[in-house]
Amino acid sequence: MTMVVYPTSFHLATIICLMLLPLHISATEGFSVNLIRKNSSHAHVLPLRRLMELSAMEKTLTPQSPIYAYLGHYLMELSIGTPPFKIYGIADTGSDLTWTSCVPCNNCYKQRNPMFDPQKSTTYRNISCDSKLCHKLDTGVCSPQKRCNYTYAYASAAITRGVLAQETITLSSTKGKSVPLKGIVFGCGHNNTGGFNDHEMGIIGLGGGPVSLISQMGSSFGGKRFSQCLVPFHTDVSVSSKMSFGKGSKVSGKGVVSTPLVAKQDKTPYFVTLLGISVENTYLHFNGSSQNVEKGNMFLDSGTPPTILPTQLYDQVVAQVRSEVAMKPVTDDPDLGPQLCYRTKNNLRGPVLTAHFEGADVKLSPTQTFISPKDGVFCLGFTNTSSDGGVYGNFAQSNYLIGFDLDRQVVSFKPKDCTKHK
């Protein structure tokens, strides 16, 4: 989920580096969480382009978190406050701020679950606008109560506004124990608008910037790293995805391929370099006929469903996929728009696509590349952009154990049936 940060004047601003207060966490060797699925009915057809628009708006003791899948997003379960209050936020490697809707929330989108009430938590602490932490946020506004107000916006009109605060966030572990993270900086949102659905109670920022949950955990659990194993969206809803943190999240063994993370001024996205995409045996270079590509031309975003490619490469991929599939594409369904779709009861048997990252070839079966927006139809889970870069979305990330090692600055991929957690 691509984000931008707006100061109070609502002009675009760069991501602000934050001075985070130290965490008080007992040292363990890592933890994991389950990303539990919620049922996504086909009652409302959501073409892939619309899903992309929604996304743009928006062994040892191993810490974990349950993650639910709903309408193209993976919802991460965690508890906030004391006593713990359960929330479900979009697991988003494309943004930093973790926030949830808080009462009072008069101008917020509709939610089916109760909202967090900071007055009922004994560990909630507002951050003063006189503190160094608030001055590192370029909001420019103090409330009459001298609290630090924030405004955080995403690539579309989706915005959360509220109070920057600190709280205890509690996750579970593989052994069922609670893992409390004290003093976590988060946004208590009192005015949240945009294309969120009523299952989503906020966003869990897992990006690389200093205010993200990952950065605030740091190396407290045996290394600054985390991994995810996302189940495909067609999987039975009782099967959960999994996210692990710290030492227990290392990706190793047979079949692992790795690609370097590319450092840029924007510290939030996890930038990697995509050299090209193969459709079966046909190699399509990222820059058309040129083999020279800019480093860090793609980033991995668990908050964006489709993979987004520059228009030239997207058009080539679509044309080549069409030539490999014997069926006739759907052209008479206005719900689907210009997407490449086929009428079939079951997913396609091919073709196999390969994402050629620098040093890592990642093979994608139809399970990862074709998505069913409604019964009897499967569509290519890619879309296009006019920019020179792109996004590697969560459809393509499914059924891979993907490790983000921020100490070594690499991303590793290991093919895995994510419905089987072992």
Query: What is the distance between the alpha carbons of residues 71 and 91, in angstroms, rounded to a whole number?
Result: 13
Measure the CA dihedral 364/224/7/394, to 10°: 10
Query: What is the distance between the alpha carbons of residues 95 and 303, in angstroms, rounded to a whole number?
Result: 9
Residues 6+ apart with CB under 8 A from 88: 68, 75, 76, 77, 113, 199, 200, 201
Query: What is the distance between the alpha carbons of residues 331 and 334, in angstroms, rounded to a whole number?
Result: 8
Q: What is the CA radius of gyration of the chain?
A: 21
Burial 267-282 (b: 16+ CB within 10 A, else e): bbbbbbbbbbbbbeee
In eight-state DSSP terms, residue 330 is P
Query: What is the distance between the alpha carbons of residues 119 and 141, in angstroms, rounded to a whole number?
Result: 22
Query: What is the distance between the alpha carbons of residues 222 and 245, in angstroms, rounded to a whole number?
Result: 9
| Annotated catalytic residue, options 301, 333, 335, 407 | 301
In eight-state DSSP terms, residue 26 is -
Phi, psi angle pair for 57, to nearest 5°? -80, -25
In eight-state DSSP terms, residue 102 is B
What secondary structure does DSSP assign to 127-146, as a single string?
A: PBTTSHHHHTSTT--B-TT-
* Straight-line distance from the first to the last Cα atom of the chain, in angstroms, rounded to the nearest whole number: 29
Residue linked to tokens 């206005």:
334
Cβ contact 410:316 at 8 Å? no
Q: Which parts of 1-95 are beta strand (E)?
A: 3-4, 31-35, 63-64, 67-70, 73-80, 85-92
| Annotated catalytic residue, options 92, 375, 388, 405 | 92
Q: Count Cβ atoms within 10 A of the Cβ of residue 336 and give its class: 0-12 exposed, 13-18 middle, 19 or more buried.
A: buried
Question: Annotated catalytic, 301?
Answer: yes
Both structure tokens of 225: 């790293």
Both structure tokens of 166: 């600190």
Name the residue type at position 166.
Q
Question: Annotated catalytic, 361?
Answer: no
Phi, psi angle pair for 118, to nearest 5°? -60, -25
Q: Which residues are catalytic?
A: 92, 301
